[in-house]
Homo-oligomer: A and B are copies of this chain.
Amino acid sequence: MIGEQYLLLPGPTPLPEQIIRAMSRSMINHRGPAFHDLLFEVTAGIRSIYQTQGEVLIYPSSGTGVMEAAVANFIAPGDQVLAVSIGVFGDRFAAIAQAFGAAVEKILVPWGKSADPQLIKERIDRDTDKRIKAVLVSHNETSTGVVNNIAAIADALGDHPALFIVDTVSGLAAHSFKMDEWRVDVAASGSQKAFMIPPGLGFLAFNQRALSIHKKINNSRFYWDVSTGLEYLQKGQTPTTPAISLFYGLQEALRMMAEEGLDNIIRRHAFYRDLIRAAVSAMGLGLLAEAEQASCSVTSVLAPQTLGANQICQTMLQQFNIVLAGGQQNLYDVIFRIGHLGYVRELDLLAILAALEMILHKMGHPVELGAGVKVAQEHILKNHSDFAG
């Protein structure tokens, strides 16, 4: 089949051509002045996306790597940790804390739902002797397409001294993330999501409160050690060799993002979400997440019980070269996920919705051809006139 693939995963995402070109530049000395300037520029850029005055360090790693960095730096073995899990990545955060010796207590939320801040508040209120040292929460849960209300969870934590540590790997820049305003102490994110660059860079943000706790505690850490990272950052360097080509991509991405404006980027992702949700609903398909908890990065669609989600994904790939994600673990073959992160064109969304209608039609699911597309068109027209007005 001719033509580029439609990649609609919750990461990695399509890459803008200008980012690919930027990444094609020659290697430079990572201990020299050119890298120094590059590192300062992108660190400042990531800081502005996190909406923080705190520190940001960039690692050669996947998102999971900086989740491990968040644990190894800010949690000591034996620390009591409250891990709020709403899916695969919430479970992963808890597993990392456990692997690094924390005594992990999990709040398990049914998959497809967001965490109830009231439940967290009740648990925190019971911790009268402040034994809980850290609370781990996912901002956006990729496996279910559900977003947690981080501001409300921050309120639930009140003035409890536990560090508030958030995985926003697939949330950052698709949703607003007001790190300082929401009193998040530590946050982890990665390059292959709303940043529109390939996987391989992790972004760890933390404030002075977290840093002072880091200095008092120990855990098994060398590669992730933020003290070393900050020491090198002062010199315009990284402790170990940085992934230079991805830094070039990040620099270009942050310039594109600054031009578009963070508010516009976040509004654009909400628009994708609303468009997709309305269109698949018009096709008679169910949605896993309720509207007010739905992710702006990825939408989980319930497959018709007669079809199976995996068959839909496979047929979309074979017939139209469209890559969707399936469900994981207990959502395997139950949902398929449409990623709408980063560099997504609105007309591509129309195309994949039209393809989905055709596939469902051919598979015998009752769907009116064009019904979902029409709803999406209406969304686009309204969005254009909103911007024109």
Q: What residues of chain A have their CB less than 8 Å away from a CB belonging to chain B?
A: 4-5, 7, 9, 11-15, 20-21, 23-24, 26-32, 60-65, 68, 72, 77, 95-96, 99-101, 190, 192, 198-200, 219-223, 225, 239-246, 317, 323, 325
Contacts and interface: CB of A to CB of B under 8 A. Distances in A.
Q: Which 6 A-B pairs have the closest CB atoms?
A: A200-B243, A220-B220, A64-B240, A62-B240, A12-B27, A198-B245
Contacts of A29: 7, 9, 323, 325
A245 B244 CA distance: 12
29 contacts: A7-B26, A7-B29, A11-B241, A12-B241, A12-B244, A14-B26, A14-B27, A15-B27, A23-B23, A23-B245, A27-B198, A28-B323, A30-B199, A32-B317, A60-B60, A62-B223, A63-B240, A65-B240, A68-B222, A68-B223, A99-B225, A100-B220, A100-B222, A198-B243, A198-B245, A199-B243, A200-B243, A243-B243, A243-B246
A190 B241 contact: yes
Nearest to A21: B24
Contacts of A27: 7, 12-15, 192, 198
A241 B12 CA distance: 8
Nearest to A246: B200
Contacts of A28: 5, 7, 12, 323
Given A26-B5, A245-B200, A64 B221 contact: no
Contact of A95 (B200, B222, B325): B222
Contacts of A198: 27, 243-246
A246 to B, nearest CB: 6
Contacts of A14: 26-27
Given A13-B27, A63-B241, A65-B223, 5 more contacts: A7-B27, A14-B26, A30-B199, A60-B199, A219-B220
Contacts of A220: 72, 77, 99-101, 219-220
A243 B247 CA distance: 13
A239 B64 contact: yes
Contacts of A317: 32
A12 B68 CA distance: 26
Contacts of A239: 64
Nearest to A30: B12
B64 A61 contact: no
B32 A323 contact: yes
Contacts of A200: 60, 200, 243, 245-246
Most chain B CB within a 10 A radius of its CB, from A12, A23, A77? A12
A61 B63 contact: no
A323 B244 CA distance: 16
Contacts of A60: 60-62, 65, 199-200
A62 to B, nearest CB: 4
A229 to B, nearest CB: 12
In this complex, which of A32, A241, A323 has the most chain B Cβ atoms within 10 angstroms of its Cβ?
A241
Contacts of A61: 60-61, 65, 223
A65 B62 CA distance: 12
A306 to B, nearest CB: 25
